[in-house]
């Protein structure tokens, strides 16, 4: 009894070059359509831009709100770059100063 393997069946089906091009075109169309479906599905998911509600936004924008150190929660009522209690980088430009702790090498 002869056994026919899957790769032999594909070789018979795709023996003609035109059939190969049709198969490749169909596969590309299928991948393209699945990609479009995934993009449309991702865009349909509604994620709120803020992780908090309107009450928290109002509290954050309150002029009497005092920023705190993200490391030790000490109120920061100054214009320094570092927390006076723990030394962590603080301030409105904290994310723009990633290399503030790098110093020149000692020779």
Span 48-87, pLDDT tens digits: 776 778 888 888 788 888 888 888 988 888 778 888 888 8
Predicted local distance difference test score (pLDDT) of residue 3: 62
- Return all residues near 71 (Cβ < 8 A) that are at least 6 apart: 83, 86, 88
pTM tops 0.85: no
């Amino acid at each position: 009894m002869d056994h026919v393997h899957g790769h032999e069946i594909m070789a018979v089906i795709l023996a003609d070059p035109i059939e190969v091009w049709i198969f490749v075109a169909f596969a590309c169309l299928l991948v393209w359509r699945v990609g479009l479906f995934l993009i449309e599905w991702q865009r349909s998911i509604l994620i709120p831009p803020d992780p908090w509600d309107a009450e928290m936004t109002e509290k954050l924008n309150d002029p009497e709100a005092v920023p705190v150190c993200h490391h030790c929660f000490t109120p920061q009522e100054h214009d320094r770059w570092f927390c006076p209690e723990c030394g962590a980088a603080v301030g409105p430009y904290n994310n723009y100063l990633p290399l503030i702790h790098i110093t020149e090498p000692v020779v």
